[in-house]
Chains A and B, each alone.
Chain A
Amino acid sequence: MKNSFNILWLQSGGCGGCSISVLNAEQPDFYTNLHLNNINMLWHPSISEASAGEFISLLQSIEEGNIKLDALCLEGSLMRGPNGTGRFHMLGGTGRSMSEVVKSLSQIARYTIAIGSCAAFGGITMSGSNPGEACGLQYEGKYAGGLLDKNWLSPAKLPVINIAGCPTHPSWVIETIVQLAMGDLTFSGLDSYNRPRSYTDHLVHHGCPRNEYYEFKASAEQPSEQGCMMEHMGCLGTQARADCNTRLWNGEGSCLRGGYACINCTAPEFEEPGHSFTKTPKIAGIPMGLPIDMPKAWFVALASLSKAATPKRLKVNATSDHIRISPGAKNKEEDNK
């Protein structure tokens, strides 16, 4: 394609779920999206024809500078183990560790993009004892500096662009790549963890259909109940930076709409919350980890006020698996009609 924006997509220590998520893109589909925006996928592990030797030749041409590489997309964390050798992930057929290949290509590509939280920060693969010695491209958890140095900039003078999420949303990926292709993404378009602000200027809480329960602190206690999941069920939607409840997933979904807690998967170290994911840790009955920028005393004061004012409708519905009392029903249970 003439003057196309060339991208190469590689996978390392991850699950491939971000690629699978990208294939969920709609109106238009992923391929049409690329085509309309003049983006040329030089190679992608799930969709390209070239395999084995054909791919190795392509890689060689890119490394020798015969094919222009605009963006390197990496999905999955870098596997540095065992003992720093990188042997937990060798690129098949090459005898090279994937970490080495990625490092080499990142010096050539105008932009380097981390697709998903594993490539950005290490993610799930870094959990527990981090048996694979995994890290992200330019972060190791919350700490700057991963495979690439914390001060590293790509040839186009941007750090690694972290399209974090587990998985990442198809539109986050497509819109970020298109912004880069148009030359519209600058340093000010990235947040403090170098995630695109196009989706991290929002909170998962925004657009949560359980907002009324949240306002009155009417809380769910068990899976499938209707109430707010912050108090007991581990929901981090008021802290998590992403637009999941305004953009939506697979048509009309989101974690909260699916009835389970937001686990803040766009954040570094989400994989080790220090407590069980679906149980809110509390001190003296007050949840730890309050909304992102709200003074604690105010939160506690407002919460106790709103709890005192909770309508019966919300109190009952919060711990029910279906709506028992409809709005305006004057507290009459309607489900038995």
Chain B
Amino acid sequence: MNSNSPTRRVLGPFNRVEGDLEVHVEVEQGLITKAWVNSPLFRGFEQILHGKDPLDSLVYTPRICGICSVSQSVAAAQALAEIQGLQPCSNGQIATNLILAAENLADHLTHFYLFFMPDFARETYANRDWFNKISERFKAQTGKAARQVLPARAAFLHLTGILAGKWPHSLAIQPGGTTRPIETQEKIRLATTISTFRHFLQDVVFGCELEQITALQTIDELNTWQLDHPNSDFAYFLTLAADLKLSEIGCASNSFMSYGAYNEGTQQLFKSGIWQQHYQTLNPEQIKEDISHSWLSGQSEAKHPYQGSTIPNADESSGYSWCKAPRLNQQVVEVGAIARQMVHGHKLIHELVSQSGANVQNRIIARLLEIALVVPAMENWVKKLHVKEAFCITTEMPDNAQGAGMIEAARGSLGHWVQIKNGRILNYQIIAPTTWNFSPRDGQDQPGALELALQGTYVGSDENASVIIQHIIRSFDPCMVCTVH
């Protein structure tokens, strides 16, 4: 075969992503010209929920995903709260934030140490100056970092043992708050758990106070910080990212969306909105799902989730994924930690993105930055718990109503749209973060965010999955079980 003619390769299964993923790429002269992302697992949660008691969604939806379990609970509880016209009490809201933050930060840590970094310990990189150090710390299953991170992560998740019974798959998060009222002794243990985690982050991940990380506002300041703190995992990453030019791969649409994260009274810790060259408010009515390239039928045009349906059809000839293609005002947007910080307006992330876009390097920086931003917020939330006051309020469930829960999971924007009729769930539609990021093409033939991010990547003649492709895929921290649900 002429090596210049385009060849199509099928790559999979990709591991160290949550769930199942297959990617098809067309390669011409070593460059990816087109990519097709396939989510090869369909389970059918939206059908399962049809006809159930609305409160039972709090049992079913967390089980969509073992790594975003609490996020699913929070989205479901918020949708039900809207249906019931409930505003969670203060303690319940704070406890929900703490449980959600514990999951989100644990996920960021799991992603960095177990999913993403082990690729740089591959033999492919044996000739790099940094290889020995990185291999010793991050080699899959045997690297030394995991032996520090797993105990620290597990100890941090004691927070969920105290406030949510267990993680994953808790029933503690309710429309009006949480089921576990705590006393002073638990409040002390929560505070201690969080500060123990802070010390781990300061000792191992950053090598400095978290506040030094959150105060970084410019690329120059980041570079200076790196020189001053060479022996931290964050600095190791920055070193190899510069050497491998990770800022030059994996750019998608550079349009970002966030539903806003962590309610604090009428405010949010990270605000909601969209960023397309400038900040705009988010209009949820503009969210529509398209199934033109999905193995689904029953919908001739893109529809808002309240009008949406999910009818699998494996023989749909134009389909190549079980995933739908959600679009905001017909456009592809990227979600995740980098989108949250773009929308919220973190100066360092803005400078990085205006310099090189949302790429492999900048997605990782945004995720680690977010850990440093949220831990101090958690410390504040714990102080605001009033242990003698209520954690949960309840009210009747109406027979006919609809409501939406739009929240931020670790991987980005997660929405549940719920309609109930005669006291039962009539329609339950879910759009998960990776549904946005790893969507197939839409009716206008626009590729999804990962498909865009892969286009133009140089992979050479490597018949296996080029490690570059893996960096790009994993930089999104995809969660495929959420994607199709």
User: Once the chains bind, are B168 and A47 in contact (CB under 8 Å)?
Assistant: no
Which of A17, A55, A129 lies at the interface centre, i.e. has the most chain B CB atoms within 10 A of its CB?
Answer: A17
Is A198 at the interface (CB under 8 A from chain B)? no
A15 near B13: Cβ-Cβ < 8 Å: no
CB-defined contacts of A82 to chain B, threshold 8 Å: 312, 314
Judged by a CB distance under 8 angstroms, whether B390 is at the interface is yes
Given A92-B12, A277-B56, A321-B392, the answer on whether A255 and B40 have CB atoms closer than 8 Å is no
Q: Considering only CB atoms and an 8 Å cut-off, how many residues of chain A contact the other chain?
A: 83
A224 and B56 form a contact (CB under 8 A): no
- Whether A92 lies near B158 (C-beta < 8 A) is no
In the complex, residue of chain A having the shortest beta-carbon distance to the beta carbon of B392 = A224
A134 on the B face (CB < 8 A): yes
In this assembly, does B468 line the interface, its C-beta being within 8 Å of a C-beta of chain A?
A: no
In chain A between 31 and 74, which residues have their CB closer than 8 angstroms to a CB of chain B? 31-32, 41, 43-55
Complex contact A47–B16 (CB within 8 A): yes
Query: Which B residues lie within 8 Å of A129 (CB)?
Result: 47-48, 50
Contact yes or no, A128 B48, CB < 8 A: yes
Whether B171 is near chain A, meaning CB under 8 Å from some CB there, is: yes
In the bound complex, how far is the Cα of B151 from the Cα of A7, in angstroms?
A: 23
Q: Is B219 an interface residue (CB 8 A)?
A: no
Q: Which residues of B contact A12 (CB under 8 A)?
A: 41
Contact at A51–B168, with CB atoms within 8 Å? no
User: Contact: A124 with B66, CB < 8 Å?
Assistant: no
Answer yes or no: B178 CB below 8 A from chain A CBs. Answer: yes
A258 touches B179 (CB 8 A): yes
Q: How far is the CA of A242 from the CA of B466 in the complex (A)?
A: 45
- In the complex, the answer to whether A85 meets B314 with C-beta atoms within 8 Å is yes
Q: Select the stretch in B113-121, B126-134, B246-254 that faces chain A.
A: B113-121
Q: In chain A between 118 and 164, which residues have their CB closer than 8 angstroms to a CB of chain B?
A: 124-125, 127-129, 131-132, 134
B165 adjacent to chain A (CB < 8 Å): yes
Given the complex, which residues of B lie within 8 Å of A31, measured CB to CB? 141, 146-147, 150
**Residues of B contacting A55 in the complex (Cβ-Cβ under 8 angstroms):** 13, 15
CB of A88 within 8 A of CB of B312, answer yes
Contact yes or no, A20 B154, CB < 8 A: no
Q: What's the least CB distance linking B313 to chain A, in Å?
A: 8
A172 nearest CB across to chain B (Å): 13
| A54 B151 Cβ-Cβ under 8 A | no
Q: Which residues of A contact B165 (CB under 8 A)?
A: 249, 253-260
Alpha-carbon distance A8/B458, docked complex (angstroms): 33
Cα separation A252 to B164 with both chains bound (whole Å) = 10
Instruction: Give complex CA distance A90, B141 in Å.
Output: 26
Q: With an 8 A cutoff between CB atoms, is B157 at the interface? A: yes
Whether a CB of chain B sits under 8 angstroms from the CB of A176 is no
A49 and B118 contact, CB distance less than 8 A: yes
Is A171 interfacial (CB-CB < 8 Å)?
no
Give B43-91 interface residues, CB cut-off 8 Å to A: 43-44, 47-53, 55-56, 58-60, 63-67, 69
Q: Across the interface, do B465 and A29 meet the contact criterion of CB distance under 8 Å?
A: no
Known A-B contacts A20-B67, A258-B180; the reply to A46 vs B115 at CB < 8 A is yes
Q: Which residue of B lies closest to A29 (CB)?
A: B150
Q: Which residues of B contact A314 (CB under 8 A)?
A: none
The answer to whether A88 and B11 touch across the interface, beta carbons within 8 angstroms, is no
- Given A88-B42, A167-B169, A47-B141 contact (CB < 8 Å): yes
Specify which of B41, B121, B174 lies most central, judged by the most chain A CB atoms within 10 Å of its CB.
Answer: B41
A21 partner residues in chain B, CB cutoff 8 A? 66, 168
Contacts of B183 in A (CB 8 A): 322-323
Q: Does B110 contact A (CB under 8 A)?
A: yes
Q: A15-B168, A128-B51, A258-B163 are in contact. List 20 more A-B contacts (CB 8 A).
A: A12-B41, A16-B18, A24-B154, A32-B147, A44-B15, A53-B463, A55-B13, A81-B312, A88-B314, A91-B13, A92-B20, A132-B43, A224-B391, A250-B161, A250-B167, A253-B158, A254-B165, A276-B55, A279-B53, A321-B392
Can you offer 30 A-B residue contacts whose CB atoms are under 8 A? A15-B66, A15-B481, A23-B110, A41-B141, A45-B16, A47-B140, A51-B470, A52-B11, A53-B465, A85-B314, A89-B41, A91-B13, A92-B14, A92-B21, A92-B38, A93-B10, A93-B12, A222-B392, A224-B174, A251-B157, A255-B171, A257-B161, A258-B172, A260-B170, A260-B171, A263-B171, A277-B55, A277-B56, A278-B58, A321-B392
Please report B residues at the A interface, Cβ cutoff 8 Å.
Answer: 10-16, 18-22, 38, 40-44, 47-53, 55-56, 58-60, 63-67, 69, 110, 114-115, 118-119, 121-122, 139-141, 146-147, 150-151, 153-155, 157-158, 160-172, 174, 176-181, 183, 312, 314, 322, 387-388, 390-392, 394, 463-465, 470, 481
User: Lowest 5 CB-CB distances: which A-B pairs, in order?
Assistant: A258-B165, A17-B66, A92-B12, A131-B44, A253-B161
